[in-house]
């Protein structure tokens, strides 16, 4: 599959999770467009068109569980170009010390915005050890399996 993997990260936690997801997708033979939304916009990253089979979006959370402006801007660009895709999987990092109700609030908000049926992945701060590595790997495998099980009738016909 062609997968778009976009993230925002202030201090590197979300980028670490994104890297692990990226590595797993590539190890399973998928073609991943990697986007650091803090420094790249959609047009720069996808000059030949933004349609992908699966969109994976990852964000840290700011200010009472809100979405950082860089990810908001990226999502606005994405929706303008491809609409609200059905196949959006969301992950995030956060800290429970900001309040349980705000924990990973950006990931929750983004998932709600897209109305995604995929499970969310939430990691406290940075991925720690074998337990989080396994959690990220299992989540990645789950969203890939979900995507492959959705009928592909409306997938873009850009590739075989
Ligand atoms: C100003 C500020 C506000 C934050 N607010 C929240 C919050 O509301 N909810 C949350 O889960 N984490 C919050 N955090 C914690 C970060 O989301 C968390 O440390 C995250 O892992 C940072 O990811 P990054 O290293 O990719 O930037 C906040 C951090 C900062 C600096």
User: For residue range 46-81, what is the model confidence (pLDDT) as tens digits?
Assistant: 999 999 999 999 999 999 999 999 999 999 999 999
What is the atom index within ligand 1 of the atom nearest the CA of 13?
A: 25
Q: Is residue 159 in some structural domain?
A: no
ipTM: 0.99
Q: Is residue 71 in some structural domain?
A: yes
Q: Is 38 in the pocket of ligand 1 (CB under 6 A)?
A: no
The pTM for the full model equals: 0.94
Edge-to-edge strands, sheet with 121-124: 31-36, 2-7, 54-60, 88-94, 121-124
Domain harbouring 129, CATH code: 3.40.50.360
Rounded to whole angstroms, the maximal C-alpha distance in the chain is: 47
Q: Is 97 in the pocket of ligand 1 (CB under 6 A)?
A: no
Q: Is residue 114 in some structural domain?
A: yes
* Protein residue whose Cα sits closest to atom 7 of ligand 1: 65
136-142 average pLDDT score: 98
Q: Report yes or no: 60 and 69 within 8 Å, Cβ to Cβ.
A: no
User: Could you read off the pLDDT of 6-45 as tens digits, one per residue?
Assistant: 999 999 999 999 999 999 999 999 999 999 999 999 999 9
Q: Which two tokens stand for residue 89?
A: 């999987």
Structural domain of 9: 2-149
Residue 19 to residues 15, 23, 42, 49: CA-CA distances in angstroms? 6, 6, 19, 23
Q: Is residue 158 in some structural domain?
A: no
Q: Is 10 in the pocket of ligand 1 (CB under 6 A)?
A: yes
């Amino acid at each position: 599959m062609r997968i778009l993997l976009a993230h925002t990260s202030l201090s590197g936690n979300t980028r670490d999770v994104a890297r692990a997801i990226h590595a797993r997708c590539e190890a399973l033979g998928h073609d991943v467009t990697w986007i650091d939304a803090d420094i790249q916009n959609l047009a720069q990253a996808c000059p030949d068109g933004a349609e992908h089979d699966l969109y994976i979006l990852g964000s840290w959370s700011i200010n009472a569980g809100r979405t950082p402006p860089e990810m908001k801007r990226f999502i606005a660009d994405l929706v303008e170009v491809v609409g609200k895709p059905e196949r959006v999987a969301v992950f995030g990092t956060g800290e429970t010390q900001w309040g349980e109700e705000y924990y990973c609030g950006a990931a929750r908000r983004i998932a709600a915005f897209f109305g995604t049926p995929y499970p969310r992945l939430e990691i406290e701060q940075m991925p720690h050890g074998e337990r989080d590595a396994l959690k990220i790997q299992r989540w990645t495998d789950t969203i890939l399996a979900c995507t492959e099980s959705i009928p592909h009738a409306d997938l873009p016909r850009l590739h075989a």
